[in-house]
Structure formats: C-alpha cells, structure tokens
Amino acid sequence: MRATILTSPGHIELQTLADPQLEQDTDAIVRVVASCICGSDLWPYRGLNGEQTEPRQIGHEFVGVVEQVGDAVSGLAPGDFVIAPFMYSDNTCALCRRGVHTSCVNGGGYSGCQCELVRVPQADGTLVTVPGSVSQELVPHLLTLSDVFPTGHHAAVSAGVREGSTVAVVGDGAVGLSAVLAATQLGAATVVAMSRHADRQALAREFGADAIVETRGKEGAAEVREIFDGIGADCVLECVGTDASMKQAFMATRPGGTVGYVGVPHGVSIDPRPIFGRNIGLAGGVAPVRNYLEDLLPAVLDGTIEPGKVFDLTLPLDQVAEGYRAMDERRATKVLLTP
Amino acid sequence: MRATILTSPGHIELQTLADPQLEQDTDAIVRVVASCICGSDLWPYRGLNGEQTEPRQIGHEFVGVVEQVGDAVSGLAPGDFVIAPFMYSDNTCALCRRGVHTSCVNGGGYSGCQCELVRVPQADGTLVTVPGSVSQELVPHLLTLSDVFPTGHHAAVSAGVREGSTVAVVGDGAVGLSAVLAATQLGAATVVAMSRHADRQALAREFGADAIVETRGKEGAAEVREIFDGIGADCVLECVGTDASMKQAFMATRPGGTVGYVGVPHGVSIDPRPIFGRNIGLAGGVAPVRNYLEDLLPAVLDGTIEPGKVFDLTLPLDQVAEGYRAMDERRATKVLLTP
C-alpha cells in the first residue's frame, strides 16, 4: 500500500509499504476512505518534538471501510463504514468505563493512517460503525469525529461549558473552530473567538461565535474580559498549546472559571500562584474521542452540525507533501486526504 | 488593644495598639472571642514570603461579638456572635454572586485578628451571625468556619468529590484533616489520608479516613494508586502547597481525575505534559469561605460534625509567640488563641 512517511523534519514522502496484516484476533484491517492532517502532525514535521531518529509513518485521523476482522471481533463486519478515534481502546477497562479511553490499559496509537490500509487493534472497542449508507457529502463531517471535533468538544466539556456559559476560545485552527461549534452546541450564551484571519473568523461566526477578538496576549485577554462584564469568561477553551496561548487563556478567564485545554503543551510551564489567587481551574488533555462518539454522531448524521467545514483543502494522497506544506505555511486550516 | 505583631521573621510580639475605629459606614468593629494560627501564617513567620520590610499585624481567622456597626450596616447588631470569613466581601458583586467571594471587587483582608478588636469592612456581606446563644464548647468548631474547615471543604468541592468518589488527601495539617472530614461529609466512598504522625492519623480516622498511607512522594502515590485498583483516586486534595506535595498529588490521581488544591503554592512549577496526557484536572485556590457558610454552619450547630477537633493547643493571647513556636516545630497541629 501507499503510505505517508515523515523521513525527517520537513520531509514527507509517499512510499510503498507492505499491506498491514491482522496480528491479534481483536484486530481489524480498515481501508481508508479519508484521512487528514492534524495540527499535532506539524510538531514533528517542524522538528519540534525532539530528535527524530528514523523515518516513520504519520497520521492518526481517519474513516474507512472494514476490510477484514480478527476471530475475536464480534461487533464489526467487512463492509462496515467506521469512524476511527485517533487512539484505540478496549472500551471495557476501568479507565474506559470512566470515560478516559485515551488512558485505556490496552490502548495505544496506530502506526499511521495517511495511507490506504490501517491495522486497528482492539477493533470492537475502538471503531464506531456508521449506520446505513454513507454519502460522499457526509464523509468530511464524519472524518472530524475521529479527532478534531471531539477534541474541540473535549475542551468545552472540560471547561464546564453548559447552558448560559460565557466562553472564549484561544486558537483559530481547526480545533479552535471546532471548540466554538461545540460550545455553541452545549448551550453557551456568548462565545468569543480569538482570531486574526478573516476566513477563520467567518467560519467561527458560522459555527456560532458572537464576537471576534483580533488582539492577542495581555491585550487580547483584556478585550475578552471587557466583553464579559470586565471579569472574563466562565470558560476559556485553549486550543493551541504554547506558553503564550496558555497565559492568554488564564488571563481571559474570570475568577472561579475554568480553562479547558486540548492543545498539546509545548514549552508550557504553569506558575500556579496567579490562578490559585483567582480560583481558576485547568482541565482537559488528550481528548478521549471514543467516549464522545455516541453523543456527537447523531447531530452529524442528521445534519444539525457540519463540523467538516473546517476542511478548506482536499488533496489526493499522492499530494500529501503539499498538504503538509499548505498547513505549515497556514495556506490551509485543515487538509483532507483521499486515497 | 493588645495585638499580635510579626516584627520580623521568627519574632512574634504582643503589642498595645490603638483600638480600631469605624472608617466606612459599612464597617463593623468585632470583639474577638477566639482566633487561631493558620498554616499560611507560618510562611511569613519563617521568612518564606519574601523580604518583610516592617513590623505588621498578623492573623485572619476569628469569631467574635459585634461591638459597633457603621450607619449603613443593616443585618448586624451589637451583641451578635459572628463568624468572620478570612477575607471580607460585599456578597453582592458579580464575583460574589458566582461564589468567588475571595475575588470580590470590594473585598480584601483584615489588618490582623490575633488581637482583641477587628475592623471588618463590608460587614453586612462578610459576617455570618450564629443564631441563639453560643456555648463555650461550640466556639472552636465555629472558629474553624472562618477558614480551615471551609478550606478543606473547598479542596473537596473543587476536586469534585461526590457520593461514591475515591479520595486521597495530601497533607495532614489542620487543612488536610478538614479535607478528610469534608470529603466524608460529601459522600466519598473511600478516603485515604497521607500522614506520618500517629496523632494526626487518629484524627483523620475519626474524621472518616478509611486508610492511611505513611510514605510520601512517588512511593506514597504508588501506594495510593494500589489502594484504588491500581489507577489512583478520582479526587486528590492537595493541602500543603509545595512542589513535592503537588507532584505527589498528581501522581496519586487516576486518569480523568482532579486535584483540588488549597495549599498556598510556594515554589511550585507545573509541567502540564504528564497531566495533559492523563487528563488530570487542577482546581481550587484561595477558599471562598463566605460562599460555603450557609451550607456548613447547620452541621456544626447540630453537632453532626466537630471540625474544632483540629485544635490541639489552646493558649491565651499573651502566649501567642509560644503558639507560633509550637506550630513551627510541629508540636501542635493548630493553635486556638483566646484574648
């Protein structure tokens, strides 16, 4: 099969690898219908995740059709259209039962998915079948359920967004935009998106943002506080992961509020004193996507929400290197790849 | 009046000061019936809060009898027995209405209270009257409501302790012991107290602890995880405030759980990566005591709980210096002072 390889930072190649095979009787082999490039893929692409010692497959977000299942797989059959959460999990262990599928005692990550075939361990626990036939139009929206939309949703849930909440979102990437949509769906009274890009601002508005703040840092946080009665937002959704974005998030939160964070932290160090004095909480982390799928799928299937609008560039797999360049250079918000 | 002065780190003196006077028409003057020494008073006593430039009054926890009220005070009258939360607040601003009285826009701290008379600003919003006559036996229990017991309660509430929660408490000082009691009252299924002192272990058991872990750090956290199915506690209550205790708290928490922290952070730096990966939240801060008093007072008045058992030394005010020494040298858990 053809598979995307990060040979070294900045270098993406499509190579031919042996097709993956069933290894455990709980595995499934899934033929990828669509995958995408995650903001977190850009960290190793940019060489910011430490030294890379050898070429490796990349990618973790995909939807596809089951091709083959192991003998112990009972809930899936070849031909099923499935959503693959970006980490696999057994959905039965003590941590899955508590909704933290990303800490599943039998869980882990895929070898990569910006390719044609993926071996999915713990297939019964991991893959969620989409009922009925799946139209081409629905594919991008379903694809967001593998990571980006539930990740934005996790920021909102972690920050405690509920009916009537005041919300600010730090980060206007695909996750930040998804967080705007998720907060709106959870009943937020007012959502402020922090964004400096016209096209992203427009999508934030479409996803439910009531106001846009273009400034950043202390000044941006002060603008957010001003919008919310001078005290700040109940819930701030941090969707970047840098030290600056985290500080901005804390400064935009009202005393007693919560920062829900889903941007993988890079170079972040938190001095708890200012947040201790203002009783600002921090919650979130790697999104347990599997935990949210039953909740989120119906609204996608019936068209209530269209989270796939975060994709602004679709490329065939053999142009994956261009996809990385486009996201790296911010020419694209999020790139969808078709085999 | 006689008042406790921290002249320089390690030096406590009882000096005679002018009686405080009403300054605003929203003030009250309260005659102290009992005050106490807080673990947080030990930080400046030990010279660990930065350079002290001049002698100053100290103390922030007390109960007393209203002596005089300003013209705008309507809910209090001379003779009322009152509980004074350790910070004053108007109880009406946008942040008080959200339960964050410690961030009240008209709030602040007292000049000190290990003395005979205290000027309480925002008296109507701050002071809570105890109905009926107050027996001598009840005074220590009521006194804990000014800080230490609601602070332990805040750790538990912030960590999300509810019916059936698994809980570990880091710190066996008066706040940690109060947190054990609060967690039990909130319906925790199992409470583990981390303590190396026999007398504190005994009180932790009396307050509802089901198990004691004597080890600390990585080893102690591993013991806690072992007790809780190998995964850790749903809720860990951090009641110390050092970098080591905070790390211990995070390590004892299960993925998806929350650390509720109320120990004033000293020298703490949080690397979010390990807690991000395990979805461990952090919540808490300076306890908004006023917010909890209506909830907590009835159980004290009817004898359901006896939080005043944290006091193991009572001294007259003129022995306040000995009180500080006893707490500093860990000869006492918590010292009650009578004028």
According to the model, what pLDDT value does residue B51 have? Answer: 79
Q: What is the DSSP letter of A21?
A: -
- Report the alpha-carbon distance of residue A189 to residue B50 in Å, rounded: 43
- Chain B contact for A96 (CB, 8 A cutoff): no
Q: Label the pairing between strands A11-16 and A2-8.
A: antiparallel
Digit-coded pLDDT (tens) for A113-142: 999 999 999 999 999 999 999 999 999 999
- Chain A contact for B279 (CB, 8 A cutoff): yes
Tokens 């994956």 belong to residue: A320
- Chain B contact for A98 (CB, 8 A cutoff): yes
According to the model, what pLDDT value does residue A50 have? Answer: 80
Residue B338: count of CB within 10 angstroms of its CB = 13
Within 209-228 of B, beta carbons closer than 8 Å to A belong to none
According to the model, what pLDDT value does residue A49 have? Answer: 81
B102 contacts on A by Cβ (under 8 Å): 255, 277, 279
**B118 neighbors B22 (Cβ within 8 angstroms):** no
Please name which of B330, B281, B316 lies closest in space to residue B116, comparing C-alpha atoms: B316
- Report the alpha-carbon distance of residue B220 to residue A78 in Å, rounded: 48
A271 contacts on B by Cβ (under 8 Å): 268-270
Please name which of B88, B19, B20, B23 lies closest in space to residue B60, comparing C-alpha atoms: B88
Largest CA distance in chain A: 60
- Chain A contact for B100 (CB, 8 A cutoff): yes
According to the model, what pLDDT value does residue B50 have? Answer: 80
Class of domain B2-147+288-338: alpha beta
Cβ contact B285–A277 (<8 Å): yes
| ipTM associated with this complex | 0.96
- Taking all residues of chain A, what is their mean pLDDT, rounded to a whole number? 97
Identify the sign of the CA torsion B264, B267, B272, B278: negative
Q: What is the DSSP letter of B330?
A: T
Digit-coded pLDDT (tens) for A154-180: 999 999 999 999 999 999 999 999 999
Instruction: Report how far apart, in Å, the C-alpha atoms of B278 and of each of A255, A285, B233 are.
Output: 25, 7, 13
Cβ contact B269–A265 (<8 Å): no
Q: Would you call B21 exposed, middle or buried from its count of C-beta atoms within 10 A (0-12, 13-18, 19+)?
A: exposed
Nearest to A277 among B256, B276, B286 (CB): B286
Has residue A48 got a pLDDT over 90?
no
Digit-coded pLDDT (tens) for A293-305: 999 999 999 999 9
According to the model, what pLDDT value does residue A51 have? Answer: 79
Question: Digits of tens for pLDDT over chain B (339 positions)?
Answer: 999 999 999 999 999 999 999 999 999 999 999 999 999 999 999 998 887 789 999 999 999 999 999 999 999 999 999 999 999 999 999 999 999 999 999 999 999 999 999 999 999 999 999 999 999 999 999 999 999 999 999 999 999 999 999 999 999 999 999 999 999 999 999 999 999 999 999 999 999 999 999 999 999 999 999 999 999 999 999 999 999 999 999 999 999 999 999 999 999 999 999 999 999 999 999 999 999 999 999 999 999 999 999 999 999 999 999 999 999 999 999 999 998
- Report the alpha-carbon distance of residue A171 to residue B29 in Å, rounded: 50
- Report the alpha-carbon distance of residue B79 to residue B101 in Å, rounded: 25
Fold observed for domain A149-284: Rossmann fold (3.40.50)
A250 contacts on B by Cβ (under 8 Å): none
Domain regions of chain B by residue span: 2-147+288-338, 149-284
For the residues of B205-231, what is the DSSP string, one character each?
HHTT-SEEE---HHHHHHHHHHHTTTT
Cβ contact A265–B273 (<8 Å): yes
According to the model, what pLDDT value does residue B48 have? Answer: 84
Has residue A109 got a pLDDT over 90?
yes
